[in-house]
Amino acid sequence: MARTSPNIIVTGTPGVGKTTHCEALAEKTGLRHVSVNQVVKDKQCHEGWDEEYLCWIVDEDKLLDALEDEAKEGGCIIDWHACDLFPKSWIDLVVVLRVDSSTLYDRLSARKYPEAKLQENLDSEIMEVLLQEARDSYDEEIVVELTSNTADEMESNVERVEAWLVQWKKDHGG
């Protein structure tokens, strides 16, 4: 059955502003903020905790099973620092947030990331790893790169996604 509400991924390197954007979007649009980190934790979709990188070792099969019903229903804003694991058929829009290195450095330092993890994330942002992953995994028409350095940029990003949603609903008989 076709979705009556779209699924959106908000992705990017940790610290780009995914959670902040997803919360604002959920409030404005009524779509649901699906924090993958929370799902991994709550539904135990992991094989333990990585002490070096301070993150869960995700079991992707379990994660997809845990998300499947919600994704089929539609109306999810999926918040995760990866995007290549989700089936193409689930996803209507992929927002890749980008940020300047110095801003990212400040945000991750404020989170007290260990040096190796901080450096790895900075490299990942500079190398455009998530943007490439999105482009490799989805049709280019649905991948949108947006900058998230300032509150003004965030506001205009949210407006842009809201406008996209209005159009999506028109196109899908809403």
Give the shortest CB-90-to-ligand DAT separation in angstroms: 20
Q: Which of 58, 71, 154, 158 binds ligand DAT (CB under 6 A)?
A: 154
Q: What binding mask, one character per residue, do residues 19-58 give for ligand DAT by CB under 6 A, x or -? A: xx--------------------------------------
Sign for the CA dihedral angle at 172, 6, 63, 41 comes to: negative
Closest to 6 measured CA to CA, from 80, 66, 95, 82: 95
- For the chain, how are helix, strand and coil distributed in percent, rounded to 5? 50, 20, 30
At residue 7, the 3 state secondary structure works out as coil
**151 lines the binding site for ligand DAT (CB under 6 A):** yes
Q: Which positions from 4 through 23 interact with ligand DAT, judged by CB under 6 A?
A: 12, 14-20
Q: φ and ψ at 48, to 5 degrees?
A: 115, -175
Determine if residue 48 is labeled as part of a ligand binding site.
no
Give the residue with the Cβ less far from ligand DAT, 1 or 28: 28
Among all residues, whose Cβ is closest to ligand DAT?
A: 17
Looking up tokens 């649905």 gives 142
Spatial distance between the Cα atoms of 132 and 21, rounded to a whole number of angstroms = 21
Looking up tokens 């229903």 gives 73
**98 lines the binding site for ligand DAT (CB under 6 A):** no
**153 lines the binding site for ligand DAT (CB under 6 A):** yes
Residues that bind ligand DAT (CB under 6 A): 12, 14-20, 107, 148, 150-151, 153-154
Known binding site: residues?
A: 15, 17-20, 111
